[in-house]
Structure 1
């Protein structure tokens, strides 16, 4: 989900030594991440006389990336890292929310072992360019909510980041979760991932998906909360919600969305604008908790809230079969406890 509040903080960018670091990076990369490959990406690899099997991949910007061999030193935004990790790819560094204030792992980073990867930034507009350069990466991977805009890559440092290594974007907006998972599966295979556990997770994902249609009579509202605002999300813009609606779930679509199309902003006094039997709330760290939202009088009086039919929405579940199997199984278990309200 796009950040509801994107306060543009000043970028704490690279300063002294940047040119020298770039020169160092140009000298070549070090050892790999444990990810190796001799294959291609979606049948797009071509032969390289100098290095045997070349690696090529066309991302969702239409950008064709060509390397003499498959990248082994991958840096990824936390959402991309979580997806790739479940398919067997081990990035060397991540950026975006991966560590909570108490030092524990942010749920957005999924199964990634944050003790085994470098952290380049933990909040919006934070990206340690000097450290990134020193890692000598082969590839940077990130999701995209807007075409040509890599998620959590700061605009102020974008040009420098793109000089260091090729960047690869996977589009989320307007896609179904199955489409996005398929793209990460394709990318992971091209990078030589072992796919351990994937068939079993895919079976769980498909089984949970089939159960969603049995809850079609429930009207579900999906939202995120801020101190002064309740955001009602717009289903077609989110891969996970698109998957839910295609699978038979009835999700409220706001009648008027904000610029950008991702959600409608409502004051808490207008939290009762839409009727719903079930409310799914954003569980990310920047969103208010259920306890905090219940302090808003209009929200507390909503029938779904009064009935206890307020359940988690894992807004950034990893785009992998493992990530979505867990997400959907939890959702199905919660919906089984819900009933249609008068």
Structure 2
């Protein structure tokens, strides 16, 4: 989730030449991705930034950010390495998934163990990037999300080609792009088709629930500095739900993606149902804040987790089912 800055103390980075030596000397590496077999012919894939990766065989060893590794696992693939802004065991999106054999090379933003990444011998590495405005502009002067800087990204690219997924625009499109990559990496077509059916069924259920229970939903993050309310049209997943009929609270502060409220002004935040990002304050903390303690959604107990579900058929189906249930159980409590 790109909700807050998770920049922490950055570890010293090893030089690429050292990584190459360690790769050659490594005697223990994770198994190749399950469901992926090397082809005899060349393999190409063009990512969302227009970069074309060309290999002499289909990649079987894939590394990536947690956000992109979760979809691959759902589609039956087994990446060899992963990193994110938390440990795999602390990331609820991995619950129920077999993560054995996945080398964890980073648990904080920008802190990657490049020696460990090189030792995993990935054929390709999957990352992501977010637009900087409503037009979908990608700032090419900045690294992909999760890398400390461009220098670190270049070190990663020296280990294996990087495939970038753009997390912006219509969530349904992002899900399709993620699935296209998984298929290219060897995901079983029957597994993908089953996941798509599950996704379509959940989407239909959410659409029905939104029509039958017209409540207003607010997605937000809160900490000691104040409250940030997400603008649904700027978040791919929230936009997907909005396209299915979910009504979202429209915050007034200007800016891309986030509308920022100080605690003094937080009482202006509306919505019958709140989706609360899990990395910040929980409901108990909110109830201690005088300006929001009496908010209608909080008082009614209509506050639920916003878990930033991965953009794949399975993850989104699960969250849409949960959201449909919350809408069904909620009532309008604001004017």
What is the TM-score normalised by the length of structure 2?
0.87
1:79–1:109 contact (8 Å) kept in structure 2: no
2:73 equivalent to 1:70: no
Aligned to 1:204: 198
2:292 equivalent to 1:299: yes
Aligned to 1:331: 323
Query: Cα distance 1:99–1:204, how it changes in 2: closer, same or farther (>3 A)?
Result: same
**Deviation at residue 269 of structure 1 after TM alignment:** 2.5
Aligned to 1:42: none
Query: Cα distance 1:34–1:310, how it changes in 2: closer, same or farther (>3 A)?
Result: closer
Alignment deviations for residues 25-71 of structure 1 (CA, whole Å, 9 cap, x no partner): 489998633342467xxxxxxxxxxxx42110111111011111111
Aligned to 1:257: 254
Query: Cα distance 1:158–1:26, how it changes in 2: closer, same or farther (>3 A)?
Result: farther
Q: How far apart in 2 are the matches of 1:251 and 1:152?
A: 28
2:78 equivalent to 1:90: yes
Q: How far apart in 2 are the matches of 1:237 and 1:84?
A: 24
**Deviation at residue 231 of structure 1 after TM alignment:** 0.5
Alignment partner of 2:48 out of 53, 60, 66 = 60
Q: How far apart in 1 are the matches of 2:219 and 2:96?
A: 25
2:14 equivalent to 1:21: no
Aligned to 1:166: 161
**Deviation at residue 20 of structure 1 after TM alignment:** 3.2
Alignment deviations for residues 154-211 of structure 1 (CA, whole Å, 9 cap, x no partner): 214112111111001101122x222112112111111111245443432332222223
Alignment partner of 1:114 out of 92, 99, 102 = 99
Aligned to 1:34: 34
**Deviation at residue 111 of structure 1 after TM alignment:** 4.8
2:76–2:191 contact (8 Å) kept in structure 1: no
SS at 2:284 equivalent: helix
Aligned to 1:178: 172
User: Matched residue pairs, number?
Assistant: 319
**Where does structure 2 lack aligned partners over 5 or more consecutive residues?**
132-137
SS at 1:79 equivalent: helix
1:75–1:141 contact (8 Å) kept in structure 2: yes
Alignment partner of 1:125 out of 102, 110, 119 = 110
**Deviation at residue 112 of structure 1 after TM alignment:** 4.2
Q: How far apart in 2 are the matches of 1:10 and 1:131?
A: 19
Alignment partner of 1:154 out of 143, 148, 155 = 148
CA RMSD of aligned residues (A): 2.5
**Deviation at residue 221 of structure 1 after TM alignment:** 1.0
1:74–1:137 contact (8 Å) kept in structure 2: yes
SS at 2:264 equivalent: helix
